[in-house]
Amino acid sequence: MKNNSMIQRKMKLPGFIITGAIAGVITLLFAFTPIHKEKTTPPCAGKANPVAKDAASLEAGKSIYKFKCYSCHGTNGKGNGPKCEELDKTPQDFTNADFKKQTDGDLFCKITEGKTVMPCFKHQLTKEQRWQIINYIRSL
Ligand code: HEC
């Protein structure tokens, strides 16, 4: 009898380890679920612009715009830059009322992540630069 229960105890040990491992995997799956949720609703859409719309930020935004955005979006943001003819889509007119209805956070998302043929600027521009450009294109 004594020997039997010893064997049973030895047999149960791997069971605990397996149960522990499964519980661990399930916990990890739950831990990673919020990341997927964030991707479907970009958290930046509701963000307020932390950069003041002053002369300095408009000037900074303007110089980045000339360098990075002008070729497609054109001098006055009309969507008629010299590179436009090569594109499959025409950029929106930044002076249009419908465009202006969008929040700064919406624009920040689109500049950060890109949109169809519009390139993403997540790695090319700092967050501050992206907000400065938003201030500038709002002034057009
Ligand atoms: C290669 C050309 C190209 C460059 C460079 C480019 N864009 Fe665009 N952009 C586009 C096109 C085309 C669209 C329209 C995409 C669509 O609607 O699918 C667009 C869309 C946008 C939109 C979204 C408009 C809306 O109402 O949905 C914003 C904001 C924008 N661009 C800002 C910028 C800024 C700021 C820069 C510079 C940092 C820039 N773009 C550089 C081509 C470009």
Distance CA 135, CA 140 (A): 9
**Do 28 and 61 fall into the same domain?**
no
Ligand 1 closest atom vs CA 117: 12
Q: What is the mean pLDDT of residues 33-46?
A: 60
Residue 115 has φ and ψ, to the nearest 5°, of -155, 120
Q: Is 52 helix (H, G, I), strand (E, B) or coil?
A: coil
Q: Can you give the residue range of the structural domain that contains 36?
A: 2-41
For residue 63, pLDDT over 90 is answered with: yes
**Do 34 and 96 fall into the same domain?**
no
**Do 37 and 55 fall into the same domain?**
no
**Do 37 and 50 fall into the same domain?**
no
Ligand 1 closest atom vs CA 83: 2
- pTM of the full structure: 0.76
**Do 119 and 73 fall into the same domain?**
yes
Pocket, ligand 1, Cβ cutoff 6 A:
68-69, 71-73, 83, 87, 89, 91-92, 99, 107, 110-111, 115-119, 121, 133
Distance CA 109, CA 30 (A): 26
- When divided into structural domains, the chain yields a total of 2
**Do 8 and 29 fall into the same domain?**
yes
pLDDT tens, position by position, 81-140: 999 999 999 999 999 999 999 999 999 999 999 999 999 999 999 999 999 999 999 999
**Do 32 and 8 fall into the same domain?**
yes
